[in-house]
Amino acid sequence: MSLTPLNMHGTRFGRAVEHPSLADATYVARRNLIASRACGHQVGEPSPAVSYSEEEHATWRTVHAALRSVQDDWGCPQVLAAREAVPVPPDRVPQHEEISDRLDALSGFRFTLAGGIVPNKRFLGAMADGYFHAVQYVRHPAMPLYTPEPDVLHDVFGHGIHLADPVFADLYRTVGQAAARVDSDDALDLISRVYWFTLEYGVTRTSHGPRAYGAALLSSYGELSRFARAELRSFDIDDLVRLPYQVDGYQPVLFTVDSMAHLADILHTFLDDFDEATRDRRNLPRLADRGFMNRPPIPR
């Protein structure tokens, strides 16, 4: 798999064009070897075990130590509670199956293998059946606290923690069930944007100030430690679907809910009866009407 499409993910974690992974042929070959095992993989099949190198384990240890600390400071209480239920070893990269077995017992979710970009219909729709597409490769060792694409650390420290909590798992299923009911790019894009600004980049108010609950924030040392400097707006679907995506660097605008119960109410209200006519009923713009916008990086 070429690394070229990774530039599409540059918005998520910083300046992809400057990242050493793009010019390191040895890294690219290793990353692509691991990713290639997702070719032909069917949703629900067990992920093959990966024999991680000592260098990859060392990267995990570095990120684990840094993220735990910054999550303690900036993660919302529900996330910190869920984190305790997940077997996230401090010293080695865990295998998908050991994470999945634990999540399955807690919420009925399992990881299913992805090698990179997954189409919205498959990625979002699989959540309806309790499967979350996750990758196995590890970010470049030269920049352990920053990656231009989601890696196994993002999936475990972000989505894995979420899916240990039945309340979060219900929200993933809600997203998936909405996606399973529609097929058009417009409808899937709308769901993807709501997913993006909640389960990837969501912020909640707490008695101690804003705290992050989105997986992309939770798994990014740099962004988690400074997300409160972004423009924090009250959650508004009509607002967020019109917002251009940040194409270089951290997200400049984040949407804030009052609580996890508020988030659940928002998502269920919008998604429980979501269908192909939702966009028209709510007078939301179509993709073709938003030509000035960048398409969001597809959340694999």
Binders of Fe ion among residues 212 to 251 (CB under 5 A) are 215
Cα 134 to Cα 130: distance, rounded to the nearest angstrom: 13
224-231 contacts at long range (C-beta below 8 A, 24 or more positions apart): 224/67, 224/70, 224/71, 224/74, 224/75, 225/70, 225/73, 225/74, 226/250, 227/74, 227/203, 227/251, 227/254, 228/74, 230/254
- State the residue for tokens 């597809």: 298
Looking at the Cβ atoms of 215 and 266, the one nearer to Fe ion is 215
User: Is 219 an annotated catalytic residue?
Assistant: yes
Backbone angles phi, psi at 253, to 5 degrees: -125, 130
Candidate ranges 162-170, 210-218, 245-253, 257-265; the one touching Fe ion (CB under 5 A): 210-218
Specify the DSSP element, H or E, that contains 98. helix 96-107
Q: CB-wise, 94 or 285, nearer to Fe ion? A: 94
CB of 273: closest distance to Fe ion in angstroms?
Answer: 26
Shortest approach of Fe ion to residue 175 CB, angstroms?
12
Q: Minimal distance in Å, beta carbon 150 to Fe ion? A: 5
Report the distance separating Cα 192 and Cα 134, nearest Å: 17
Specify the DSSP class assigned to residue 289: G
In the bound state with Fe ion, the residue whose beta carbon lies nearer, of 161 and 230, is: 161
Q: Which of 154, 162, 192, 223 is catalytic?
A: 154
Q: Which of 100, 107, 219, 220 is catalytic?
A: 219
What dihedral do alpha carbons 147, 151, 154, 157 form, nearest 10°?
Answer: -130
Least distance to Fe ion from the beta carbon of 5, Å?
16
Binding segment (CB under 5 A) for Fe ion, from list 15-23, 68-76, 136-144, 211-219: 211-219
Q: Is 223 a catalytic residue?
A: no
The residue sitting closest to Fe ion, measured at its beta carbon, is 215
Selecting among 64, 133, 140, 159, the annotated active-site residue is 159
Shortest Å, Cβ 138 to Fe ion = 16
Which candidate in 21, 96, 133, 200 is catalytic?
Answer: 200
Residues that bind Fe ion (CB under 5 A): 215
Q: Enumerate the active-site residues.
A: 154, 159, 200, 219
